[in-house]
Structure 1
Amino acid sequence: MAPCAFSIKQIFFQITSEKLKSMAIKIEALRTFVHVADAGNIKDAADVLGRTQSAISMTLKLIEERLCGALFETDRKQNLTDLGKHVYQVAVGALRDFDQANANISSYAQGQTGLLRIASVPSVASLLIPEALRDFALARPDAQIELIDTDSTDVQKLVLSGQVDLGIAGIQILNSEMDVKPLFDDRFNIVCLKENALAQMKKPLEWTDLSDCKLIMNETLRGILVPEIQSQLVNSRLSVRNVTSLIAMVQANLGITVLPSLATLYLPSGLVALPVNGPHSTRQVWIMHKESKLRSPISIKFQNHLEVKIKEFAVKYGLELYPN
């Protein structure tokens, strides 16, 4: 004889499971009961629920059959039995919890709640992100937002490790594990003291003008692939990653540096930002996320929001946009 496909234990559990399912009272049935109890009659409850009176009566009957007891003292549905009072109390709490859970799930799915984690280069994090977040966060009072400002190298590491949802940074080499999209171009500026010889020059500045200057190295300079900059990487005595500290070093006359124009809009008095002309005189800023990571709804919403806001920022701060 061929072996039985299901054991007796499996069949028992299947039958028990089906029986429990048939005994369960559906949440919408409880909602119907609560409406009838609140209204004191079937007609008014049917009007509120948009159902027929016969459908309401059938729902109440099914509940009573499952509970083996009456919910109302009479057919007029004005007074609850002891069983009905208990069911009403439990049902009101269950409906409140169900509706709240449903609202929370829907809100998350629509990008209204959740955790948004962003890593950005400092110039964007300090200037553009706050403006972009202002109305975005105001419309989402229950959302949580974390912002990390760091250099482009670390931004990419945070994206690839999954520690942030979105990264905003420059990219030297495209990584197949990241989905990237260009946002804008930003010009490079030389930052120096007003008394520096570069600030006195009457011609447009080029990278060759920096050959004999004391450069304070930073992540921006390391990404500028021109001989005049790269030749100084090895010999530079001072390297600073933090923009605030970098500007302080220039103020102390320890050298000059190069920063994106966004980072030079509000320099301290005594310093100037001088535009550079020629090849590699702009940086490309990209928005990125990990290709293999399923994105949260709120991160998608924010990226869409930021891409719209960038058009305003381009006019306000002189950025060059990429075509859509």
Structure 2
Amino acid sequence: MILLQLEDDIGGALFEGGRKNRLTPLGMLVLEESRRASEAYDRSVKAIRRYATSTAGSVRIASVPSATISLLPPVILRFRRERPDVRLEINDVDSAAVRRRLEFDEADIGIVSAAPDDVGEGTLIERTPLGIVCRSDGPIARATTAGKASWSLLGEEPMIVNPLCSLVKSPIVEHHALTATLESRNTTSLLAFVQAGLGATILPQSAMRATGENLTFIQPTDPVAFRHLLKIRQSTRPNTPVVEAFYEALLHGA
């Protein structure tokens, strides 16, 4: 009876045949829209609960891992001095996942990596040189002391690939990235792998702030490469005052 009433209200059949075991195209659409409505309801409930547990509100930040190491700590420290009661939720994921979290309302603010020629998305908050990160006592470092500073140095050790490698417009880097057998998307993991002697990787110079003395940053000049950090934000609904405040703090803290 309930199914018949629903089909009557919608204006079409939801199932094919009398056994009701296969959805019609309309039924598949209704199922998909119902799932979206349910997910939207769940997100709203979570947002209400977050607000209820923090009297001053909350800010959800999705950021590329390297920014959580180099950019966010001083920004959060300054923000805490002015708004100590605001709840901050930090998730470190790659740029594609940051955009997805914003799209599905799982984050309020995003920090993504971009090439210098990428335009039209977000606001620039940091411009950092990209280079080779390797062990100070490894083959690449020894070759550099001999006066060699080129992306071809990657041929001296196995390359550990990460998404930032695609920002270097060099056929040498592209070749080594295609033939590499180890990949990671997390800055902490990449640095640990390099420290363990598993190879070298490409990271922004700012990522070196979290490393020990046994790692070296080398900036090749053929070509010089940079990584831009952009801040982006949720646009499907109005942001709360605390979200806007943290968004502005990112620009001032860069």
TM-score (norm 1): 0.55
1:247 counterpart SS class: helix
Aligned residue identity for 1:218 = N
Alignment of 1:228-307 (within 5 A): 228-279=172-223, 281-307=225-251
Per the alignment, residue 130 of structure 1 pairs with 73
2:128 counterpart SS class: strand
Percent identity, aligned pairs only?
Answer: 27
Deviation at 1:124, TM superposition (A): 1.7
- Structure 1 CA distance for aligned equivalents of residues 155 and 147 of structure 2: 16
- Structure 2 CA distance for aligned equivalents of residues 142 and 248 of structure 1: 34
Does residue 156 in structure 1 map to residue 99 in structure 2?
yes
Per the alignment, residue 197 of structure 1 pairs with 139
Unaligned runs of 5+ in 2: 1-50
- Structure 1 CA distance for aligned equivalents of residues 83 and 162 of structure 2: 37
Deviation at 1:174, TM superposition (A): 6.1
Per the alignment, residue 36 of structure 1 pairs with none
Give the root-mean-square deviation of aligned CA atoms. Answer: 2.5
2:108–2:233: 8 Å Cα contact kept in structure 1? yes
Considering Cα pairs closer than 8 Å and 6+ residues apart, tell me whether 1 or 2 has the greater RCO.
Answer: 2
1:225–1:280: 8 Å Cα contact kept in structure 2? no
- Render the CA deviation track for 1:69-121: whole Å, top value 9, x for unaligned: xxxxxxxxxxxxxxxxxxxxxxxxxxxxxxxxxxxxxxx9xxx9321111112
- Structure 1 CA distance for aligned equivalents of residues 226 and 186 of structure 2: 20
- Structure 2 CA distance for aligned equivalents of residues 158 and 191 of structure 1: 29
- Render the CA deviation track for 1:177-213: whole Å, top value 9, x for unaligned: xx51111210112111222232132435222332454
- Structure 2 CA distance for aligned equivalents of residues 247 and 135 of structure 1: 27
- Render the CA deviation track for 1:197-236: whole Å, top value 9, x for unaligned: 3213243522233245420111222343321122223321
Aligned length: 198
Deviation at 1:175, TM superposition (A): 9.2
- Structure 1 CA distance for aligned equivalents of residues 192 and 245 of structure 2: 37
Per the alignment, residue 122 of structure 2 pairs with 180
Pair 175,191 (structure 1): closer, same or farther in 2 beyond 3 Å: closer
Aligned residue identity for 1:140 = R
Deviation at 1:280, TM superposition (A): 5.2
1:234 counterpart SS class: helix
1:114–1:143: 8 Å Cα contact kept in structure 2? yes
Deviation at 1:149, TM superposition (A): 1.4
- Structure 2 CA distance for aligned equivalents of residues 281 and 204 of structure 1: 17
Does residue 141 in structure 1 map to residue 87 in structure 2?
no
Pair 266,130 (structure 1): closer, same or farther in 2 beyond 3 Å: closer
1:204–1:277: 8 Å Cα contact kept in structure 2? no
2:175 counterpart SS class: helix
Unaligned runs of 5+ in 1: 1-107, 311-324
- Structure 2 CA distance for aligned equivalents of residues 115 and 165 of structure 1: 9
Pair 294,230 (structure 1): closer, same or farther in 2 beyond 3 Å: same
Pair 297,260 (structure 1): closer, same or farther in 2 beyond 3 Å: same
1:249–1:255: 8 Å Cα contact kept in structure 2? yes
Pair 160,175 (structure 1): closer, same or farther in 2 beyond 3 Å: farther
